[in-house]
Amino acid sequence: MNAPIHFRNHPAFRFTGRLNVLAACLAIGIATASARDPGTGDRLLEKSREVEEQVSGFFHDTWNRVWNSDDFVGPRGRALTNMSTNLRERDDTYLLRLHLPRHDVSQASVELGGDGTLRVRVPASGEVGAYEQNLALPAAAKDGKPQVETQAARHLMIIIVPKAPGAETVAGAPSAPAATPATPLPAPDADWDRRMLERMRIMRRDMDRMMDRAYEELRDMPGARRFSGSQCYASSTELREENGRFVVRCYIPESLAEQAKVTIEGRLLRIESTGTIAAGSAAAHMAKAVRHIEWITLPESVDAARMTVERKQGMLLITVPKADGA
């Protein structure tokens, strides 16, 4: 493994200000329209800023309510930590939103590798261990620089990655059936897990509707299609301590749960999800390749040999007993 627990600060990749990054990247995509009709370009940029901020706020507020509501916390108490991801692909950029409660996102570092892998690393902070996420972006520009906005009070990161010139557009993606498990996975046993999966489904639907409504208002404007796009990946992971063991629930698309690989090295839990998933509004006709890796630092030493992984519809249930004497 490539030393995922070593962190370096990258000041060039850290920004503050809630609209700085979105404004900069949307302005690039709208430049052509603005040149032809400055009034149209200004209106499109203003609307784009407004909608993207609404979607980011909705993403944050939804997860904040989930992780703090009595309905979801229940008798188990609050999670030690949790992480939520939403990736959207547009004609000329990828837009990634990360909600990392209890982590200090202002200390995060972001790198884009030459192979198109986006790496987000967040160092340990207080009682919360270090966290790393890698996400493959196949059409990312090899020399592209991620634009990063951190909202520390919200524990929210917004990362925009430029795509390579001439990269396949969302609308032009090839038709392909999304992969499904060879044998259907069992449904989650717990009501809590079923409610969580339903909440994620509703959130993705509502985020798409927000974007679709805005696009309908502006669809005749040159450049409007650039800020629409489609969601192509979403996940959420939580870590809890229960009866002398650590329990990780990783909510991911079902087609990825079957093939996901889970390993432990020391206190570092690695979850790798690779496969194809349905994406876009025409889910039956489009599939996206996904490679997503998470590294979660467990709070104490564990007995890796006794780790168990249960694969359910839309989730992994990972249980790791603490080491004797921990």
* pTM (two decimals): 0.78
Instruction: Kindly report the length of the chain.
Output: 326
CATH class of 11-223+230-321: mainly beta
The whole-number pLDDT of residue 205 equals: 85
Report d(CA 159, CA 109) in Å as an integer: 11
The neighbour count for residue 303, using CB atoms within 10 Å, is 14
In the β-sheet with 131-136, what is the strand arrangement from edge to edge?
109-112, 117-122, 131-136, 287-297, 268-278, 261-265
Q: Which of 271, 214, 239 is nearest to 58 (CA)?
A: 214
* Helices 20-36 and 38-68, packing angle to 10 deg: 150
Residue-by-residue pLDDT tens, the chain, 326 positions: 433 333 233 333 333 334 444 444 444 444 444 444 555 557 766 777 777 788 888 888 888 887 777 666 655 667 888 999 999 888 888 999 999 998 999 999 999 999 999 999 999 988 899 999 999 999 999 889 999 999 999 999 999 999 998 775 544 343 344 444 456 788 888 887 888 888 888 888 888 888 777 767 666 666 665 556 677 788 999 999 988 999 999 999 888 888 899 999 999 999 998 888 766 544 444 567 888 999 999 999 999 999 999 999 999 999 999 998 76
Report d(CA 98, CA 157) in Å as an integer: 5
The whole-number pLDDT of residue 30 equals: 46
Q: Quick check: 187 and 298 in contact, CB under 8 A?
A: no
The whole-number pLDDT of residue 166 equals: 77
The whole-number pLDDT of residue 266 equals: 94
Q: Which of 323, 279, 68, 316 is nearest to 179 (CA)?
A: 279
The whole-number pLDDT of residue 277 equals: 76
The whole-number pLDDT of residue 180 equals: 47
For 111, counting Cβ atoms within 10 Å of its Cβ (0-12 exposed, 13-18 middle, 19+ buried), the class is middle
DSSP annotation of 281 reads: S
Q: What is the largest CA-CA distance in the chain?
A: 70
- For 198, list phi and psi in degrees, rounded to 5: -70, -40
**Helix, coil or strand: residue 215:** helix
Q: Quick check: 254 and 186 in contact, CB under 8 A?
A: no
Report d(CA 48, CA 188) in Å as an integer: 38
SS3 content of the chain, % helix, strand, coil (to 5): 30, 35, 35
For 309, counting Cβ atoms within 10 Å of its Cβ (0-12 exposed, 13-18 middle, 19+ buried), the class is middle
Output the six-digit token pair for 92. 């000329």
Q: Which of 185, 171, 293 is nearest to 228 (CA)?
A: 171
The whole-number pLDDT of residue 270 equals: 97
The whole-number pLDDT of residue 279 equals: 62
Could you tell me the residue ranges of all domains in the chain? 11-223+230-321
DSSP annotation of 304 reads: G
Report d(CA 19, CA 114) in Å as an integer: 27
For 9, counting Cβ atoms within 10 Å of its Cβ (0-12 exposed, 13-18 middle, 19+ buried), the class is exposed
The whole-number pLDDT of residue 40 equals: 56
